Structure 1
Amino acid sequence: MRPTDLWNRNFRLFFVARAVAVLGEGMIPVAFAAGLLGAGHSGASVGYALGLWTAAFALFVLVGGVLADRFTARRMMITADLLRLPGALLLAVTFALGSPPLWAVYVLSAVSGVGAALFQPGVASTIPRIAPDVQRANAVLRVVEALTTMAGPALAGVLVAVWSTSAAFTVNAATFAVSAVCFALMRIPPAPADDVRRGSLLSEMALGWREFRARSWLWGVIAIWTVYGLTVAGPAVPLTASLVTEEHGSAVYGALMAVNGAGSAVGGLLAMRLRPVRPLAAGAVALLGLPVNLLLLGTGAPVPVLHAGAFVAGAAFAFWLVMWSTSVQTHVPQDALNRLHAYDVAGSLLMMGVGRALSGPVAAVTGTEEVLLAGSGLAVLVVAALLVVRPIRTLPRA
């Protein structure tokens, strides 16, 4: 298939929408930190604001999956963007006027999380409907998401430094507007499932659960991944941040995250070229790059070696994500895809959140390096589990 086959009108609009959306999401932590700390609030207030966003997302993402199947993903994504747009503008206004009340910041952060929950499930089902080459589409999107994930915090930092926190939230609001316009301009032919008479919200969630349980490769990966999120991915983020910042400074940590993002872009590029016959097996083998990174962190490797480990980890994780996303989007029926994707997101996010919350107390007792080294070993076991389970290992490329 020629590369130009991918870039039809719908995919171009979707590409722009995802790029600006991920850029805006990357700005939010920096904008909240600068705004709340600059207004004299404690660092805990930043954690509460971001925590409420995450909690609202986790609580409503399953509902978002059902609604996307009921009203079509495109409509729900437009609705989600229009829900988040006024909230971001209100945050811009309140920070421009001075020190906003914390309760207002928390409420608006939670509303933004609800909007993200209504938006996210539709991403999975839209790609196979607009892209003639699903794997290539996922790889292209992974590359742009990696780049905009790096650019978002940097852009927010520049806006805060040159203008104000209000400017950062204003640009964040503009990203929602651009995304909504792009989705409004898309013309996606209706699928047969769009005209199916739907049951109640609870019955649709139950039907999604039955579809989820019927695919052993699907729930097998997600079950293994919840363990990975709890024991490896969740603790790795805060512990890496604290360890590298304490030993080498915040500038080195920022550079490490940038290198990780560059690795993610390379992993996406590799996923464009490589088309394994068993995509989940190939993705699992690629995941062996993650324990290497944790091993280097836990053993106190020098900074240049840490950069190499971060790059390899970014590439490995991106390649796995493309293989996983493509497998789900090509093996799951279109009429259940939004709900099943929501179960995937909810389970992964909740366990990663628990892992992050427990990482500090556990590291205080055993030591940060020891937790990272244990995570390295557990990550190898996760890869082994993915390869041992036959339905996962043998799932063919669709």
Structure 2
Amino acid sequence: MTATLTTPPATTPAHRDTNVRRWLAAYTSSMLGDNVYYIALSWAAVRSGTPAEVGLVMSTSALPRAVLMLGGGVVADRFGPRRVVIGSDAVRCAAVLAVAALLFLARPGLWLLALLALVFGAVDAVFVPAVGALPARLTGTDQLGRVQGMRSLAIRFAAVAGAPLGGLGVTMGGAPAAFALAGLLIAVSVPLLVSVRVRHLPADRADAPKGTAWGDLKAGLRHIRGHRVLAPLMLCIALGDLGFVGPLNVGLTLLSDRRGWGAAGMGWVLAGFGAGAGAASLLLAVRGRLPRAGLVAGCTIIVGSVAVGALAYVPTLPAAVGTAVLVGLLTGLSGVMCGALLQTLTGPAYLGRVTAVSSLISLGLTPLSMPFAAAAVGAWGLAPVYVVSATVCGLGGVVALVVPALRRAELPA
């Protein structure tokens, strides 16, 4: 029999809880720093190397993040997510500020940028699972849906505000200034996280069993495989992400080029998607929960997949923007609901490891579909690739609807 979170309901709604708001401020600042860091890294690489070298530097962090992510989940569960998040942000801050200082004093070349990307990827491998395991220790289970919505809003805000902040840093003092700004934004999160109070879960008992790291990892995978909701939920997430990544990344660039919309048109479509996804996050942040969470997730994935496929057939830019808003709203809502179910249904001792598996699927495996999507578009055209991708995405919704335990899954009231 698998355990789930059984912490008592929170007495204060998450959006009014000062402790949760301190965590949200820390997380938002850290994510802003991340976005500014990527702007600084890409600018510094462009100024120092060839396009091929730039691509290599920008992708360097992906390998350690993917390879070490599952181990990062074990670290988060063993040492506690708050401690791991604080340590991760401190290391990232120190690394970025050190590179800013070196770039200000000299021009060490691409090797330094590649080393920074490697460190960032390795630290991300423990940071991401710890971030996913932390909300359950901040508030009651009845507020985890709201916290998931608030977290998604923070991610959207950081993505929108991070690019101009990074550009401002580059304008003011080149890559060194942008790296320094990224480091300072990440640094802001550390004292805020130190001030955040966490509640103890059953997994935090001093006598909680702990074996070897490899044994802990296998135990986490068994927990997912043996759970009647988590196993199909992971499959649902994998199919949804796999079918979604290609059309909304490589596919959208090619679609905008062939329709004659240009970079500005692509920007408007992406803005429409962001607006829809932000609205979905805001809905859950305000309401706290939606009834029939599993059913809602399955239905929104299926309808959202139809909207994804329709993108290849819309003739005008305004129609594409409107379709993208619908895609963002539906897939954003299903994503937030799946994330909230993951938080509430996972056994307390396994939160880091389960988050690691989910993050590995979304951040490590599904992006690998992008070059295949691009090659398929070149071979068969846009419309067939969009239709196939939408079908794969829709299969995630089908899984949610045909598995009774997942279809009937609810968020705590």
**TM-score, L = length of structure 2:** 0.89
- Structure 1 position 44 matched with structure 2 position 56: no
2:197 is matched with 187
Task: Determine the structure 1 residue equivalent to 2:181.
Answer: 171
Match of 2:211 in 1: 199
**Which stretches in structure 1 are left out of the alignment for 5+ residues?**
none
> Are 1:248 and 2:256 counterparts?
no
Q: CA RMSD in A?
A: 2.3
Partners of 1:314 and 1:98 in 2: CA distance: 44
Name the residue aligned to 1:347: 361
Partner of 2:7: none
State the AA in 1 paired with 2:37: I
3-state SS in 1 of match to 2:16 = coil
Code of the aligned partner of 1:31: A
Q: CA deviation at 1:71?
A: 0.8
Q: Whole-Å Cα distance in 1 between the matches of residues 41 and 301 of structure 2?
A: 33
Q: Structure 1 residue 177: deviation in Å?
A: 1.0
Matched to 1:114, the amino acid is A
Who is 1:212 aligned against? 224
Shift in alpha-carbon separation, 1:88–1:303, aligned structure 2, 3 A: same
Q: Could you tell me which of 157, 163, 166 is aligned with 2:167? A: 157
Deviates more, 1:212-221 or 1:42-51: 42-51
Is the contact between residue 279 and residue 397 of structure 1 (CA under 8 Å) also seen in structure 2? yes
Instruction: Spell out the pairing of 1:117-132 with structure 2 (5 A cutoff).
Output: 117-132=125-140
Contact 1:74 1:126 in 2 (8 A): yes
Work out the CA distance in 2 between the residues paired with 1:29 and 1:225: 26
Query: Can you give the 5+ residue segments of structure 2 that lack an aligned partner in the other structure?
Result: 1-9
Matching residue of 1:144: 154
Q: Is 1:22 matched up with 2:36?
A: no
Instruction: Report how far residue 72 of structure 1 moved.
Output: 0.6
Whole-angstrom CA distance in 2 between matches of 1:285 and 1:242: 29
Deviation at 1:74, TM superposition (A): 0.5
Cα separation, partners in 2 of 1:376 and 1:347, compared to 1, 3 Å:
closer
Instruction: Summarize deviations over 1:269-290 as a string: whole Å, max 9, x none.
Output: 2223273332122022122453
Separation (CA, whole Å) in 2 of partners of 1:93 and 1:248: 41
* Native 8 Å contact 2:69 2:129 kept in 1: yes
2:328 maps to 1:333 = no
Structure 1 contact 68–76 (Cα < 8 Å) conserved:
yes
Partner Cα distance (1:375, 1:185) in 2: 44
- 1:8 maps onto 2:17 in alignment: yes
Give the percent of matched residue pairs that are identical in Structure 1 and Structure 2. Answer: 24
Structure 1 range deviating more: 134-143 or 253-262:
253-262
Once the two structures are superposed, residues 32-81 of structure 1 have per-residue CA deviations (whole angstroms, 9 ceiling, x without a partner) of: 22221123x22233322232212211111111111111111101001111
Deviations 1:315-351 (A, max 9, x none): 2222112211221211222111111111111123333
Matched, 1:269 2:282: yes
1:172-203 per-position Cα deviation (integer Å, ceiling 9, x unaligned): 11122112221111122333422224211111
Q: d(CA) in 2 for partners of 1:387 and 1:242?
A: 33
What is the distance in 1 between the residues matched to 2:276 and 2:11?
A: 25
Q: In the aligned structure 1, how far is the partner of 2:108 from the partner of 2:118?
A: 16
Task: Identify if the C-alpha distance between structure 1 residues 163 and 268 changes in structure 2 by more than 3 Å, giving closer, same or farther.
Answer: same
TM-score using structure 1 length: 0.92
- Deviations 1:84-107 (CA, angstroms, capped at 9, x unpaired): 112212332344346442222112
